Structure 1
């Protein structure tokens, strides 16, 4: 089973000769420092934001230089990667693209997992499946063996690509199922099926992501002078009235009350009390920002 490997450091200018371990693929995403990695007569230098994979069943060497390196890693049993292993051999120790496409999805997911202290052991199987699918898709793409992947891996990877695209474009009020589908060269129906398999809809998922970010901004003291409808607009809510209704439905109170309670509760010795709503801005036409 895949597991997240904690941040780890090697002594600067020291050569490491890892012992041969069970048959795993070890992925390392370097966040700082530099490494020279070699395995199976293949060698490459890796720096910050670099990604590489090695086969732990064979000897490999790492040489750190320019300071101690650090990063996050992932180990997956080779048997769980449905890509011809002889093709993956060509990738060992070499740089794998990590700033775009599936590589960016995998490294972004790993980085978030390493920083999230709220995860529980029961989350392991679900997160492990996602990591395995991303790692397999990345390797298959790198060796042009996409046809070796099972359909479910393709679906998971596509869904993660779509979600990543949505998160990067939440501020666009024109974001819609049609624009999302077009950006990924799939039909709108195919897009809806991806989200239906996750017990949600495209519109509901976008709306919740936007609400989560506005809610976070409402609790930020540095944004206290920014009007609520301006915060909402930053995250793609084009109509204040529609935003207010969606926020109240999600969190049980108007956004102005939520902001007040969140900020007052931060004051030492304060006893938060629910305020009387004073939002007197004119209502806009009740048009939802995203339609499905």
Structure 2
């Protein structure tokens, strides 16, 4: 791939380091784009026979980032078809899965004697261990999540039941998975390398849970299902921190699990769910009280904003966490004395 320089450098190579690269055909003359693009796609994913439909191919861009076992690739290009035939499967010998979320344009995927058509907001799964055809009839954009088969603790039968099926990003377990993957694609560049690695592992757990659910045998006790559920519970909790009615009971009901199971999820976190909720609320209050303003928000209004119904209780737990009352903290920040580290466990994530 030496015919066009990457528009962004590769960063790092050690385990846990976020490796990111962007490749584009925009600097090449149209006559040279097809060969470069075929090579780029096959190197990023696995060997594919790519046919571009345009006589003078449009510029195409592929930005790829490695997060632990997961590779996240944003692709924009003109109309084309990618084929993986039996010869490639036999010669390659590797087994990878690709989940692709369609952003604009449409796509057709044929695998395992099924054929599906994707609209923006939908996604599907393909398996490199068996032949498939993916056609993109017009200009398109999608994000692909590429991972080795060994990263998922699911059976081949479960995989075959899910490949080349249309999944919607608008609700249910599929919606949760799509939301998490979308956030991962947008924000992973801004997180620490070790955290990015863990986020990639969590994505694999979520995908395994989705595959099990689609196959009809979701197992809440499975380790990967528990980790995936913990991610979902935390995401739900953070989005509902302002609700004073938020509780283990309401969270359990929203996820169709028992309160006992919910508490068991947090045993590996060295805290309880109730304590974790309080820590997140305190962190948000501490942040809001530190906002620069001549008439900064009042302590009571900030407490109510983040779900604390008792000002006295809020002041008591704030002092226990940060070593001073909320009003003292606000005054110290305004005086330019914000040099205190957060209490252990404080912070949104």
TM-score tier by shorter-chain length is 0.7 to 0.9
Q: Deviations over 1:140-190 (max 9, x none)?
A: 11011335x862233223333333332333222122223333444544333
2:158–2:211: 8 Å Cα contact kept in structure 1? no
- Residues in 1 aligned to 2:209 and 2:138: alpha-carbon distance in whole angstroms: 32
Q: Deviations over 1:238-289 (max 9, x none)?
A: 1233333434444455545656777x7xxxxxxx6239xxxxxxxxxxxxxx
- Residues in 2 aligned to 1:219 and 1:37: alpha-carbon distance in whole angstroms: 51
- Residues in 2 aligned to 1:223 and 1:32: alpha-carbon distance in whole angstroms: 45
Aligned length: 265
1:173 paired with 2:236, answer: no
Aligned residue number for residue 81 of structure 2: 15
Aligned residue number for residue 138 of structure 1: 210
Aligned residue number for residue 192 of structure 1: 263
Larger mean Cα displacement after TM superposition, 186-195 or 211-220: 211-220
What are the ranges of 5 or more consecutive residues in structure 2 without an aligned counterpart? 1-66, 339-349
What are the ranges of 5 or more consecutive residues in structure 1 without an aligned counterpart? 265-271, 276-292
Q: CA RMSD in A?
A: 3.4
Structure 1 residues 76 and 116: CA distance shift in structure 2, 3 A:
closer
Aligned residue number for residue 154 of structure 1: 225
Q: 1:24 Cα deviation (Å)?
A: 1.2
Q: Which structure ranks higher in relative contact order (CA pairs < 8 Å, sequence separation ≥ 6)?
A: 1
1:119 paired with 2:191, answer: yes
TM (norm. structure 1) is: 0.73
- Residues in 2 aligned to 1:218 and 1:45: alpha-carbon distance in whole angstroms: 50
- Residues in 1 aligned to 2:299 and 2:262: alpha-carbon distance in whole angstroms: 32
- Residues in 2 aligned to 1:210 and 1:238: alpha-carbon distance in whole angstroms: 12
Give the match's secondary structure for 2:100: strand
1:2–1:77: 8 Å Cα contact kept in structure 2? no
Superposition pairs of residues 49-128 of structure 1, within 5 angstroms? 49-65=121-137, 67-71=139-143, 73-114=144-185, 115-123=187-195, 126-128=198-200
1:105–1:160: 8 Å Cα contact kept in structure 2? no
Larger mean Cα displacement after TM superposition, 195-204 or 78-87: 78-87
- Residues in 1 aligned to 2:323 and 2:115: alpha-carbon distance in whole angstroms: 57
1:274 paired with 2:274, answer: no
- Residues in 2 aligned to 1:220 and 1:32: alpha-carbon distance in whole angstroms: 39
2:266–2:272: 8 Å Cα contact kept in structure 1? yes
